[in-house]
Amino acid sequence: MSKRKEEWKALEDAFHKLTALSLEDQVLFLDGILEEDPNLYHQLASLLEGDREAHPIFNVTAPSIFNVLENDQDLIGSSIGSFELEELVGQGAMGSVFKAKRIDGQFDQIVAIKLMKPVVLNSSFREFFQRERQILAKLNHPHIARLYDGGFTEDERPYFTMEWVSGKNLIEHCNAEKLSLNNRIDLFLQVCQAVKYAHQSLIAHLDLKPQNIIVHEGEQVKLLDFGVSKMMEEGEDQSGSFTLAYASPEQIQKTNVGTNSDLYALGVIFQELLSGKHPFHNFFDDRQNLKDAILKGESLPFSLSSDFGNVPFAEDLEMICSKAMQINPEDRYGSVDEMTRDIKAFLNNYPVLAEKTPWSYKSKKYFRRNRAMLSSLGGAFILLLAMGIYYTVQLAEQRNIAQEEAKRANQITDLMSDVFLAADPNVGGADTITAVQLLNKGLEDLEKNTGDNPELYADMLARLSPIFFNLGQYDKGMETAEKAFEINSSLSNTNPETTAERLTQLSSGYYYYGNIDTSLVLVNQSVQLLKENGLGNSEMMAITLYQKGNSLYDLGRNAEADSSYRAAYDIYLTYFDPPNLDLATSLHMIGANLIDMGELDEAEKYLMEALNMKKQLYEEPHLEIAYTYNYLGTLNQKKGEDSIALGYVQESLRQRRAILGDYHVETVASMGNTARTLIRLGKAEEAIPIYEKTLVIIDSLMGESHYYFGALSGSLANAYFSLKDYPSAKKYYQKAAENFQVTMDANNPRQASPYVNLGKVEEAEGNYEKALTYYKKGLEIRESIFSEGHPDIAQSQQTVGECLLAMGDYPIAIEYLEKARNAYQEDKESNKEAILSLNSSLASAYQATDNEEKAAYYRGLASNE
* Max intra-chain CA distance, the chain: 119
Going 673 to 675 to 679 to 680, the CA torsion angle's sign is: positive
142 by DSSP, 3-state: which?
Answer: coil
Amino acid at 705: S
Cβ partners under 8 Å of residue 310, min gap 6: none
183 by DSSP, 3-state: which?
Answer: helix
Question: What is the distance between the alpha carbons of residues 9 and 16, in angstroms, rounded to a whole number?
Answer: 11
Cβ partners under 8 Å of residue 476, min gap 6: 439, 440, 443, 468
Are 621 and 659 in contact, with CB atoms under 8 Å apart?
yes
- For residue 63, CA distances in Å to 40, 55, 96, 506, 550 come to 16, 17, 17, 61, 62
Cβ partners under 8 Å of residue 615, min gap 6: 625
223 by DSSP, 3-state: which?
Answer: strand
Amino acid at 155: D
Question: What is the distance between the alpha carbons of residues 1 and 40, in angstroms, rounded to a whole number?
Answer: 19
Are 383 and 377 in contact, with CB atoms under 8 Å apart?
no
| Strand 158-163 versus strand 167-169 pairing type | unpaired
In total, the chain counts a number of residues equal to 865
Helix (H) / strand (E) element for 737: namely: helix 726-743
Question: What is the distance between the alpha carbons of residues 118 and 133, in angstroms, rounded to a whole number?
Answer: 17
- Classify each residue of 579-613 as buried b or exposed e, where b means 16 or more C-beta atoms within 10 Å of its C-beta: ebebbbbbbbbbbbbbbeeebbeebbebbebbbeb
DSSP state of 247: -
419 by DSSP, 3-state: which?
Answer: helix
| Strand 213-216 versus strand 167-169 pairing type | antiparallel
Closest alpha carbon to 567 in 515, 605, 530:
530
DSSP state of 144: B
828 is in an annotated binding site: no
Half-sphere exposure of 816 (CA within 13 A, CB side): 22
Which residues pair with residue 163 across a beta bridge?
Answer: 111
Cβ partners under 8 Å of residue 176, min gap 6: 168
Which residues pair with residue 102 across a beta bridge?
Answer: 83
**Residue 82: count of CB within 10 angstroms of its CB:** 18
Question: What is the distance between the alpha carbons of residues 449 and 444, in angstroms, rounded to a whole number?
Answer: 10
- For residue 854, CA distances in Å to 291, 402, 857 come to 94, 84, 5
Going 41 to 46 to 50 to 55, the CA torsion angle's sign is: negative
- For residue 733, CA distances in Å to 252, 503, 578, 701, 775 come to 53, 39, 46, 21, 13
Which residues pair with residue 96 across a beta bridge?
Answer: 91, 115
| Strand 95-102 versus strand 79-80 pairing type | unpaired
Cβ partners under 8 Å of residue 809, min gap 6: none
Question: What is the distance between the alpha carbons of residues 202 and 421, in angstroms, rounded to a whole number?
Answer: 8
Question: What is the distance between the alpha carbons of residues 751 and 743, in angstroms, rounded to a whole number?
Answer: 10
- Residue 847 backbone phi and psi in degrees, to 5: -60, -40
Q: Which residues are annotated binding-site positions?
A: 114
Q: Which residues are annotated binding-site positions for ATP?
A: 114
